[in-house]
Amino acid sequence: MNAGFYNSTAGRWSLDDAWWLSGVALTDLLDYMYKTGSRAYLSQAKDIINKQKEPLPWWPQGGGDFRADSTDDTAWWALAMVRMFDLTGDQYYLNISKEDEAYMYQYWTNSDCGGGMYVDIRTMTYKNAIANELYMLLTAELHNRIPGDTEYLNKSITTWRWFNASGMINSDNLVNDGLAETDGVCFNNGLPIWSYNQGVILGALTELYRATGNTSYLTSAERIADAVLASDTLSPNGILTDPCEAADTCNNDQQIFKGIFAKYLDELDGELDGARPSYRSYLENNAGTAYSYDRNASDYYDVRWAGPFRNSTVAKQASAVGLLVSLL
């Protein structure tokens, strides 16, 4: 991933690709170091943060510290800052994530759909799954790292209650992309069921369980995870597959989704302490299949973990890194 796509001058991967992808790739590096005790990429991580936290050329209103023109882009970097805090113990990084949370919260409204956060800050439109899942996850993570906190926990619980009642979780226990609204009534828009939307909600519910000890959060997470593993569409032959893969239409954003699911399925599996061995075996099967059929001789990966390998991008590579790190 570093050899093929990292630009050390700019402090990010693949300058032609979306900025948020570098936030996820950074989190992959931090997760690797957190799990293994290695500090091999710590200086690189610090350099990335120092360069990317400056005000963004396309959104100077944010004033830096990863405040972007969409709430989800801000959240990916805020989560990386939480992991950087975990790795270093430096309050500086946690403070950035707190600043990002406050920025995101400005775009929560009760006027449309009875709650929820807009994803598009420029237009104040679209209450979708990923922005609200990420916010739920971020606030739960902040609570679990700030002694005596109640504010972030309350925000996370409020987000889950709204999300769970919003209709975005469909009758198959899978999360669609977001909400539509007609005559003031909001409902599931029926847009694609992406793997990362299933993954981030697993992470958020796992963190809420850690915060509260309430097993209902784990039960809800298991219901979604089980639905993914049982889905003929998302897991044909047991291999995680996004809707765009059959038609070979996955864009650079969509190519990273599956590694995010793997990360948070691993989080849930770790909290369950092996009580659901199918989760670990699912990750192992996907990693083994990708290694055997979706990798070239130089250890680059494509988007289809069942293969064949054709080419790689930073999103495809970061997704594979996320999958492999999930098994450490």
**Do 273 and 257 touch, CB atoms closer than 8 A?**
no
pLDDT category of residue 206 using cuts at 50, 70 and 90: very high
pLDDT category of residue 133 using cuts at 50, 70 and 90: very high
What CATH number is associated with residue 192?
1.50.10.20
pLDDT category of residue 108 using cuts at 50, 70 and 90: very high
State the Cα torsion 145-150-152-157 to the nearest 10°: 120
What is the pLDDT at residue 25? 98
State the Cα torsion 237-328-266-87 to the nearest 10°: -150
pLDDT digits (tens, 9 = 90+) for 57-81: 999 999 999 999 999 999 999 999 9
Residue spans of alpha helices (H) in 167-214: 195-212
- Please tell me the distance from the alpha carbon of residue 217 to that of residue 210, in angstroms, as a whole number: 9
Q: Which amino acid does the sequence have at 311?
A: N
**Do 317 and 300 touch, CB atoms closer than 8 A?**
yes
**Do 119 and 131 touch, CB atoms closer than 8 A?**
yes
DSSP label of 61: G
The tally of domains found in the chain comes to 1
**Do 142 and 79 touch, CB atoms closer than 8 A?**
no
What is the pLDDT at residue 235? 98
pLDDT digits (tens, 9 = 90+) for 37-48: 999 999 999 999
pLDDT (average), residues 183-192: 96
What is the pLDDT at residue 167? 97
Closest residue by Cα to residue 199 from 108, 282, 115: 282
- In the block, residue with structure tokens 């969509």: 254
User: Which residues span the domain enclosing 88?
Assistant: 2-325
Furthest-apart CA atoms within the chain: distance in Å? 56
Mean pLDDT across the chain: 97
| Structure tokens, 189 | 């828009």
| Structure tokens, 205 | 């519910």
pLDDT digits (tens, 9 = 90+) for 223-239: 999 999 999 999 999 99
Could you tell me what percent of the chain has a pLDDT over 70? 100
| Structure tokens, 254 | 């969509």
